Amino acid sequence: MIVTKQKPIEDILKALQNEKGIFVVGCADCATSCSTGGEKEVQAMAETLQKKGHKITGTFVIDVPCDERMDKIFFRKFQKELSQSTAILVLACGAGINAIAKNTDLKVYSGLDSLFVGTTERLGNFNEYCSLCGDCILNETEAICPVTRCPKGFVNGPCGGAINGMCEVHTDKQCLWVSIYEKNNKAPVFSKMIPYRKNRKLNQPQTIRKAK
């Protein structure tokens, strides 16, 4: 899922300062799992804004805001409330916020920062394990991603910086290459020369269209 965190409330208030009516939107999917944009957080945000003197025109948690079809249903359903709004504050990831903005002329604001694609270890504990690089080498590395989990993103093996097996950058984490080695000291990556990588930024923004 997409792991998000709330922006500092001062930043949100500053962004919204000239708005006359605000509709607060959440996400029932990832942002709910992160406790950043679920029902509870949307209500809390609405209350905070109200206390600061803002007019709240409505609140709603969209099932999956990054699904543009669902956003269109939302806009139809809340036509009346939105007509009294000047802005929508979205507590969802950047994809969800872009999708909502695409379907309205109202000013759309982001209440969250999107951090990474993560796993949930347990509630509130998330790990970044994939960078969506588009050039997956997990088959060479015992399904442990060095592109993401080695800060330098090295794909041929470790740098020389680890201290007692711990990463020089994130000293509380084991060097990713030690993890791969401990899992299988004959992992394919150790005997192969992994060539230069594709650069995903060259393809941004990516779109996929169904083949006809």
Q: What is the contact surface with another protein in residues (CB under 8 A)?
A: 151-165, 168-169, 177-178, 181, 185, 190, 193-197, 199
Smallest separation, CB 187 to another protein (Å): 10
**Tokens linked to 163:** 């201290």
Smallest separation, CB 163 to another protein (Å): 4
Smallest separation, CB 165 to another protein (Å): 6
Q: Give the residue with the Cβ less far from another protein, 120 or 174.
A: 174
Residue 125, class by beta-carbon neighbours within 10 Å (0-12 exposed, 13-18 middle, 19+ buried)?
A: exposed
Contact 177/167 with Cβ under 8 angstroms?
Answer: no
Q: Give the residue with the Cβ less far from another protein, 68 or 113.
A: 113
Question: Tokens 């359903």 sit at which residue?
Answer: 77
Q: Give the residue with the Cβ less far from another protein, 9 or 169.
A: 169
Instruction: Tell me the residue type at 132.
Output: L
Q: Give the residue with the Cβ less far from another protein, 62 or 167.
A: 167
56-62 vs 22-27, strand pairing mode: parallel
